[in-house]
Amino acid sequence: MTPLKPIPLLIFSSRWLQLPLYLGLAAAQSVYVYVFMKELYHLVTHVTTFGEEHIMLLVLGLIDIIMISNLLIMVIVGGYETFVSRLGVDDHPDKPEWLGHVNAGVLKVKLSMAIIGISSIHLLSAFIEAGALGSEGATITAEALMWQTIIHTSFILSAIGIAYVDRITQAQD
């Protein structure tokens, strides 16, 4: 192995500047664990007083937290493995299946799919919350639902574009 010259070594070593970012995301993950437990406690302690719609919204909120948490894990583990250093977990029994073949393109596709999933939960929650649109209890407007649907559709189209570009670049390799 040829030793790197000072400038290339400095540039190559700069990847370690991302370490605090990934550690910060791990701290954010712990915040989501706290929020999840708080919401779960709220659901369990009020199960007899909440209606079905309210329970459904709370459960969708819990699913949303889990999906965001999964997104965080993909970014932390996949990003660190792709851009900073190998994790060295090849022989670990709990190694995620996807980690063995993660690269920047695969990570982008997985992240875009996770974002679509999160957006789907938010959109479903908005439609449920809207209930009978136009009733006095409606907390969301038809215009807000329309914009959320447009944004969700743009996420889907973006993911299709990302997957298509990734497929084209992999075919050229």
What is the average pLDDT across 149-170? Answer: 91
What is the pLDDT of the chain when averaged over all its residues?
Answer: 87
Residues 20 and 64 in one domain: yes
Between these two residues, 91 and 66, which has the higher pLDDT value?
Answer: 66
Residue 137 is predicted with a pLDDT of 60
Answer whether residue 110 is part of any domain: yes
Query: Is there a domain that residue 7 lies in?
Result: no
**What are 33-78's pLDDT values in tens digits?**
999 999 999 999 999 999 888 898 899 999 999 999 988 998 898 8
Residue that terminates a domain, selected from 75, 99, 123: 99
3-class SS letters over 50-86: CCHHHHHHHHHHHHHHHHHHHHHHHHHHHHHHHHHCC
What is the extent of the structural domain holding 119?
A: 103-173
User: How big is the CA angle at 53 (ends 57 and 147), to the nearest 5 degrees?
Assistant: 55
In 3D, which of 152, 145, 170 has the Cα closest to residue 112? 152
8 assigned to some structural domain? no
Q: Which of 20-29, 73-82, 124-133, 156-165 has the lowest mean pLDDT?
A: 124-133
Q: Is residue 141 part of a domain?
A: yes
Specify the 3-state DSSP secondary structure of 3.
coil
Residues 6+ apart with CB under 8 A from 114: 67, 70, 71, 74
Which of these ranges, 26-35, 85-94, 113-122, has the smallest mean pLDDT? 85-94
Candidate from 18-27, 71-80, 110-119, 164-173 with smallest mean pLDDT: 164-173
Total count of domains within the chain: 2
Burial of 12 per CB tally in 10 Å (0-12, 13-18, 19+) = exposed
Residue 135 has pLDDT above 80, yes or no: no
Proportion of the chain above pLDDT 70, given as a percent: 95
Statement: residue 139 has pLDDT above 80? no
How big is the CA angle at 12 (ends 94 and 19), to the nearest 5 degrees? 45
Say what the pLDDT of residue 43 is: 96
The Cβ of residue 34 has, within 10 Å, a number of other Cβ atoms equal to 9
Query: Which pLDDT belongs to residue 59?
Result: 93
Position 114, amino acid: A
Residue 154 has pLDDT above 90, yes or no: yes
Which amino acid would we find at residue 98? W
Give a yes or no: residue 1 inside a domain.
Answer: no
- Same domain? 92 vs 167: no
6 in any annotated domain: no
